[in-house]
Structure 1
Amino acid sequence: MFEKLSKKEKLQKSKKIFMHAVSKDASWQGDSAEYFRFRDGEQWSTEEKQILEEEQRPALTFNLTKSSVDLIMGMNEDSKKRYRVSPTEPTDAFLAEVLNDIADWVYEQYDFEDE
């Protein structure tokens, strides 16, 4: 992907990839609130709850989703991965260091170790 690019082109391509990742993350953040509520057992819509209430029926929720999510999160915790950039040639060391610093900042900023 980067083998035959100049340092400037490598940096520009890295910035482009980073910005793409940021935009995808922003999109995911918008959807995630609903997903987290579903995982936490809020699986009935307001309309469904209203209908059940009018019919004097309980809104029972058998939350099988949370246990599955918790299992997957535990498995992920046991096999954490941390991505590192390695220089392909000695002159790429500075660029690799910059990209690793950016990755470390993102990990710390968004608590990737805990999410």
Structure 2
Amino acid sequence: MTVRIVFDQSLTVKSIDTQTAFAPYAACKSGGTNFDSLIGLRMIQGWSREVKSRLKGASSCTHLMELLGPMATTAYQTLADVRINTAPELDKDGRPVKIDSCWAYVAHGDVVQHLWPNFYRPSGNRTP
């Protein structure tokens, strides 16, 4: 089973193709037919929930659908160099939205201290 997704820098799905070379039934080979419903969807927070909503039940192959969850994370990591060299998205207070969004971007961590020293908070003063 393979799933190939073409996406842009905003993580928007531009095309998606599936293939099932071996399966228990001939019908399984067309289980990715409805994956085109994901074109235009962004691989961001809520990706897995939206995939399950669009491809639930008998509308697609469950096994192909299960491959899609980790693809959003993989796509995001693929663009790491682009993100590092692009100005960060800021909240209404001018604070990068990435701060405290994951382990690496914790406000009292080395990454924040290096990238955004004005927003660095010593350990114990974690920002929400």
Higher relative contact order (CA 8 A, sep 6+): 1
Asked if these proteins are the same fold (TM beyond 0.5), I'd say no
Higher helix share: 1
TM value normalised by structure 1: 0.26
TM value normalised by structure 2: 0.24
